[in-house]
Amino acid sequence: MSEPLTAAQIEAMLRASPFISFLGLTVTSLDAAGQEVVMRSPMRPEFEREPGTGQWHGGPIASIIDTVGDYALVMFVGRGLPTINFRVDYFRPAIGTALISTGRVRRLGRTVGVADVDVHDEKGALIAIGRATYAI
């Protein structure tokens, strides 16, 4: 493996995907030594569970978790990775807030990588957690 990607390189990759670009993810911090990436995604009407509520639907939250977990590993691999397995646990609704997602590498193997993601609202409340396995 080469040098870890920078935040600018990861953001360029995020923007290159129409779907990921739609999620509005931006890198707020990157710690290669700690194998962690933090991203922010703003609320948009298309993510609402019901129109006008400002409440996030679980689908976009799951997509954000999968993407942030993937990019925690992408930082070291340099390319997008296919998801092998994925799970999410939701703890409370996210209403009228952007989401702050922290992805941490748990395993970076030769053929498989695992990442955990914590999702918080802007006040720091834990909204959901996820774990995904990716093919390296």
Candidates 3.90.550.10, 1.10.10.60, 3.90.650.10, 3.10.129.10; CATH matching 7-135: 3.10.129.10
Residue range 90-98: average pLDDT? 98
Do residues 117 and 70 lie in contact, with contact meaning Cβ atoms separated by under 8 Å?
no
75-84 pLDDT tens trace: 999 999 999 9
Strand partners, 108: 113
Question: Mean of the pLDDT values across residues 98-119?
Answer: 98
pLDDT, tens digit, 9 for 90 and up, residues 63-74: 999 999 999 999
Whole-prediction pTM value?
0.96
Q: According to the model, what pLDDT value does residue 1 have?
A: 57
Q: Are 39 and 26 in contact (CB under 8 A)?
A: yes
- Rounded to the nearest 10°, the torsion over CA 47, 50, 51, 52 is -100
Q: What does the pLDDT read at residue 68? A: 98
Evaluate if residue 114 carries a pLDDT over 80. yes
Mean pLDDT confidence for 102-115: 98
In angstroms and rounded to an integer, the radius of gyration of the C-alpha atoms of the chain is 14
- Give the tokens for residue 38: 């933090």
Each domain of the chain, given as residue ranges in start order, spans: 7-135
- As a whole number, mean pLDDT of residues 28-53 equals 97
- The predicted structure's pLDDT at residue 2: 75
